[in-house]
Every structure is written in C-alpha cells, then in structure tokens.
Structure 1
C-alpha cells in the first residue's frame, strides 16, 4: 500500500475540504494517508517511507511545499507532488490539467503513477537567490498585489468572486498605468523598451487566471517572456473585460521564449509568484531555469 503524506492548508479556498473528508477520500482509494497542516511547522518532517506528497490548497501552499523540497539536500529522497487544488486561482493545477471541481478522479488517477517534470525559474540579483513556479515580473501585477492586499485580508468572498474583484481592479490599473523603461535581454537578443507589463513565465496563467503565455509548458526547459507595450494596452484591457463578462477572447500580446533573461526595470517593485517584493532601488536580474527540479503526479486524462 502506497503512503501519501497529506499537506493541508485548512484556510485555502472555500474551506469545504476538511481534514476528515480529505483523509477519507484518499484512504477510500487504497492509499495509506498521514496528515499535517501547513499552518504548523511540523509538516516539514516527512518520513522516508512516504511515497508521494499530497498538497491540498492553492498556489501559495504549493509554493511553500516546493520551497521546502528545493531547500533539501540532494542526497535526500525526492518526493513527487500530487495536487488537490482548492485555492483561489489554482494556476499551477490548471497548467497540469488537474481539475478543481471533483477531487475523486484526481485521487483515482494517482494509481497510474504518471509524473510530469516541472521546471523552476531561478532569480539572481536580489538580496538572496529566489525561485518561481508561475512567473516573475514587473508592472501592473505588483500594482494589483498592492491594491488587493487589504481586501484579501478582510474578504470572506468565494474564490470565484475574489477572481472577479481582482480582474476588475486590474482593469482599473491598466487604464491609467504609465509604461516604464525596461532593459531586457532574452538569450542575447535585446528587447529593451517601455512596457506596462514584463513577465517571465513558467506556466500559461498568472494572477487571476489570466492566460498570458498560452503555449507555455513547465517541462520544456524554456521560459516565456511576455511584454505589453503602450500599443497593446487596448488588447490586454479587452481581454480582461471579456473575462469579466464571461466571454472568450483572442490572445493579444508579445511572447518570446528563452532560457537566460537579463533585465532591469525602472522601479523597485516586482513579484515572484504571489510574493510582492520591494527593493530600495532597481535591480539587475538574471533569470535562468532549473530543468525538472520538481515532479508532479499528472491529472486525469
């Protein structure tokens, strides 16, 4: 019998997924299950007889677990990660084709053992070396994080409502945001200019489920670099408004592929995944990719 270590964020998403229900579901499919809450430090104590980790939470919880795995010594046992998404955006789960509506097919699929390698972006030039799973960038997304912080701390809205609010706030930011200079080099080619958004992405979606890099594959050894200049403002705004209205929209942006990105944004604020970072002055960054640093159990076919 395979042993699953359940790492649960009890405060993520709509809180419908309790410890009792999650453990019962996993055990009903023939897996032994151990439980740990990611709200307590003990979750990092993973025994070597565990076969795989189950992360029950949103993108922030996945990042927390990934950081712990990446910080471990190379000689320690690597653990594949299975996802039971119940956060707000669930961008990482979406990139792996893992649904958010019904967890049972997800758990049933774990018997196949199919894994997907998952690259990790590495960022040098900040105070400490950092990483990202989803994306890193400048411009309107750090602005969105600042504006949403107070609302998220007080909000009791359902995940769908939170996404709608974030899209609405982002649309407002985009209408007045002034482009800023950015020096950017992708695999030795200069793309410097003035932009409202510069994102280095590892997966298709970022933020409130915005598909900015539709061809991104977190296992291809490359990153997507998304650039939005003044002439593309209207296209991005239309895309966001279509999302708010529940309509599909065509893709609008400039997307490049690369393995080594150097950039310097005229401003001290940026983000790494869902983390807002503010420096005293602009930074010269070098972003590379660690191929296959993590592995996830694939979603149902």
Structure 2
C-alpha cells in the first residue's frame, strides 16, 4: 500500500525526472570514456525520463553556450573538477548545476556526497535536491578568478606550475613535474594579511581550502564545510625536501593536522603574497606570486546533491 508520504515523494521525483537537461560534456576530461562517454551518460538520463540536449565542448567558450540556455533547464556537467572550475568562471549568472564525475580525482563530487558511478550520478542529478555551495573569489591585480576547491602555495604549487598536459591523467608528466619541484624545493616565507593585519608564516605548503580535498585526492582540510561561508587555512612547516614524501602520505590519509608544525584556522578573507618564491594556484590555475586577495562567496552556486530522507 502506498502511503501519503510515498505518494508525495513519487510526485516530486516525477517532477524532477521530467526536466529538460543540457548535458555539457568536457571532451578533455580524463575519464570521459566507456561508461562515462557522453552518449552513454545521455542514454542514462533519457532512460530516467529526462529530455536531454547533448553539448560536447573542448573549451570554456563552447561551454558558455549552455549558460545562455532558457531558464529552468538543468545543466549537467560531465567532467572532472577542472570542468566545474571552468564553468563557474563563465560570464553571467550560474544556473543550477548537477555533476556526473568523469575526472581523475573528482574531489568536488566526493566532498558533496555525489556518487562517482555514472548511473547513480545520473539518478542523483534528476532526483536530488539543489543545495547552495560556497565558492572562492580570487583577485590578483586586474584579474578575477573563482575557485571551487581552494588555493595552494608551496611544494604542490611549484609542482603544478611545472605540469603541462591536457588533463590530470598524465602520470609521466606529473612524476616529472613533482621530481623537478622536489629538486628545487626550499621552505618559504608567505605574507598573509587578515582584517588588515599582516603576518608572516614559514611553510613548505599552504592551503586555503573550500573543500575537504584538493589536487590528486589529498585530504588537505578534513573538517572543511563548503557551505559555512568560511575558508580553512592550513599551514604546513616542512624542514626540507626529505620531509616531503611523508607529508604527502599524511595529506592523502588526512592525518597531517595532528602533527607538529601544522596549523589550521578559519577565515572569511585573506591576502596572500609569496614575493616570487611560489606561484599561488587557484584550483589548477596560476595567479602569480601575489598579492592575491581571497574571500569566501557563500552559497554562490546551486549544486544538485543526493536528497536527504526529510526532503
């Protein structure tokens, strides 16, 4: 027997599934093949009752077309974390967005509880509920960039600066970039200004995080909440290059916060200057050595996540 609550839920689900969808597929995403191929994902969405327009893109300019579609259409992004970064930096107001993870790390999806399985992610896109998620505004001179995951300064930023490939799946390029950064690594002094008060921190690695994970699945800020309007700042003192492998292992496990030489605090805005000793990376985009003005943008993007039992 169907309960009144069950009938209501079914009606709401049917309303979601009947939506018109623009499926934006990033052709450069590292995992957009096999079960995550655009045609396969479009078929999954159609099987759930959605009316789907498939838009294959190879550049942010092509992706911008989806941002100009009629209001009310759900934009489903098929790609990795870089796809969402590119999307939030498009001109104009952001539409409601759902994610089908097709990258290497899929940090954003994992942190928001979105399934990485394409069929389950497709069902979440159509049956989930939109929730506001914070973003990060970064200003460097006349440039403005919006970050999703966070910012990095120090060893990992130096390694990313040396990485040159189409997406994050090129292991050979990643190893070469990491080895070069290791050879040239030295701890650095970073100038941080909060509420008009400048200070110096001596670090090997600094994160300003919105999400719990950053980069290749590193759990840099295990307590970060992308809905609280706050940035998690994590400063890691590294005495020298020999300590870096152990640091990376702790970051992958998320156990670094319990070690000496690691500090964590929260802020709503912060200014970063490295004076040429390290680039400031916003997600995977380089912003120079500062000053970079950073502030939390609370609830700036509506992302469809799994519905809670009370929804």
TM-score bracket for the superposition, by shorter chain length? 0.7 to 0.9
> Which runs of 5 or more structure 1 residues have no equivalent in the other structure?
none
Structure 2 residue corresponding to 1:183, chosen from 188, 191, 200: 191
Q: Which residue of 1 aligns with 2:45?
A: 26
Q: Distance in 1 between matches of 2:95 and 2:291?
A: 34
Helix, strand or coil for the counterpart of 1:220?
coil
Instruction: Name which of 210, 213, 228 aligns with 2:236.
Output: 228
Give the secondary structure class of the aligned counterpart of 1:44: helix
CA displacement at 1:42 relative to structure 2 = 4.6
Q: Distance in 2 between matches of 1:300 and 1:105?
A: 13
Structure 2 residue 281 is the aligned partner of structure 1 residue 271: yes
Indicate yes or no: 2:82 matched with 1:60: yes
Superposed counterparts of 1:1-301, under 5 Å: 1-14=18-31, 15-16=33-34, 17-39=36-58, 41-45=61-65, 46-68=68-90, 71-72=91-92, 79-100=95-116, 102-149=117-164, 152-153=165-166, 159=169, 162=171, 166=174, 170=178, 173-174=181-182, 177-187=185-195, 191-231=199-239, 237-241=245-249, 248=253, 250-252=255-257, 253-267=262-276, 269-278=279-288, 282-299=289-306
Deviations 1:161-183 (A, max 9, x none): 73x97479647745762112211
Give the superposition deviation at 1:240.
2.2
TM-score calculated relative to the size of structure 1: 0.81
Alpha-carbon distance in 1 for matches of 2:300, 2:208: 17
Deviation of 1:66 after TM superposition, in Å, equals 1.4
Structure 1 residues 42 and 180, CA gap change in structure 2 (3 angstroms): closer
**SS of 1:129 mapped into structure 2:** strand
**Unaligned 5+ residue runs, structure 2?**
1-17
Aligned length: 281
In the TM superposition, residue 193 of structure 1 has moved relative to its aligned partner by 2.4
Between the aligned partners of 2:225 and 2:173, the Cα distance in structure 1 is 28
The 2-side partners of 1:49 and 1:284 are apart by 38
* Bigger Rg, which one: 2
- CA gap of 1:30–1:144, structure 2 versus 1, over 3 A, is same
Q: Which residue of 1 aligns with 2:3?
A: none
Q: Secondary structure at the match of 1:118?
A: strand
Q: Which digits, 9 at most, give the CA deviation of each residue in 1:29-51, with x for residues without a partner?
A: 11111111122645433421543
Residues 225 and 258 in structure 1, CA contact (< 8 A), matched pair in contact too: yes
Distance 2:175 2:47 in 1: 38
Q: Output the CA distance in 1 between the equivalents of 2:227 and 2:243.
A: 29
